[in-house]
Amino acid sequence: MLDILFDFIKILFYTLRDVFPILSLILFFQIVVLKQPIPHLKRVILGGVFVVLGLSFFIMGLEKALFPIGEIMASQLADPAFLGNVDGEVLHWSNYYWIYIFAAAIGFATTIAEPSLIAVAIKAEEVSAGTISPLGLRITVAIGVAFALALGTFRIVTGIPLYLFIMGGYIIVIIQTIVGPKDLIALAYDSGGVTTSTVTVPLVTALGLELSGVVPGRNPAVDGFGLIAFASLFPIISVLGYSQFMVLKKRMSNLK
């Protein structure tokens, strides 16, 4: 119990250290540059306390739960005994199908629960006067992340260079940006960015590092990272692809 309390105090100190420059900058511009009093000062102070405590509890939860869960799941799913290999032979990439399924499932689930994506989806509904469905946008982005993480874990297992996937993905994005509907391009790019936030990153990072540590011939420092790049790129493709599909569907209905 004392160890947990000590860990929380240490995390609280680091959180205060990280948040202090942001608060100082805001106060400087409000008081010195704008020369305006801080509105609802008591509410702002209380909100700041909640932010620091919330971030501290969240970071502690990541360290105590999400990171270990990601590491344990990756090590267990990639265990040669679980995959049916007891002779020490090098497994074929197809033997790791449970890893791909788990990566896709955890990518979809964490993206649906991602607070930053929820915020973007709500704002998208507001500015589009209800044209864009928040749930539809979140599901579309989550499908992109699910495919991205399945493909990213496949890359770790096979050892294919990361840049080939990233270059190929951005070529697709460039083509979609040129030929696709212009209304959702900016939203698609923002949707890709918000998927790599507080919920998704810890599990994805732990999964990549642990998987590269248990797959023979992989180095966590070289092969363990890169899944976040997949999770940022492929939601852009999925949102742009969805918008292109809706435009095509509308055109087909007009021809009938």
Q: Find all residues with CB under 8 Å of 196, minimum gap 6, and list them.
A: 204, 228, 231, 232
**Candidate ranges 35-44, 70-79, 143-152; pick with highest mean pLDDT:** 143-152
Structure tokens at 82: 């679980």
pLDDT value at residue 207: 84
Taking a C-beta distance cutoff of 8 angstroms, is the pair 193, 229 a contact? no
Query: Looking at residues 16-33, what average pLDDT do you find?
Result: 88
Q: Is residue 142 pLDDT above 90, yes or no?
A: yes
The pLDDT-based confidence of 237 (bands split at 50, 70, 90) is very high
Query: Looking at residues 76-100, what average pLDDT do you find?
Result: 75
pLDDT value at residue 85: 63
Which of left, alpha, beta for 207 (phi over 0: left; psi -120 to 50: alpha)? alpha
Exposed/middle/buried for 138, CB within 10 Å: 0-12, 13-18, 19+?
Answer: buried
Residue appearing with tokens 């212009």: 182
pLDDT value at residue 84: 66
Q: Is residue 166 pLDDT above 60, yes or no?
A: yes
pLDDT value at residue 256: 66
pLDDT value at residue 115: 81
Report the percentage of the chain scoring pLDDT > 70: 96
Query: Looking at residues 197-221, what average pLDDT do you find?
Result: 81
Taking a C-beta distance cutoff of 8 angstroms, is the pair 103, 226 a contact? no
Query: Looking at residues 96-105, what average pLDDT do you find?
Result: 90
Q: Which of 22-31, 90-99, 181-190 has the lowest mean pLDDT?
A: 90-99
CA nearest to 186, candidates 120, 118, 99, 246 = 120
Residue appearing with tokens 């020490």: 88
Q: Is residue 234 pLDDT above 90, yes or no?
A: yes
Query: Looking at residues 223-249, what average pLDDT do you find?
Result: 88
Q: Who wins on pLDDT, 43 or 253?
A: 43
Domain ranges, ordered by start, for the chain: 1-64, 78-255
Give 71's DSSP letter. H
C-alpha 252: how far from chain center: 35
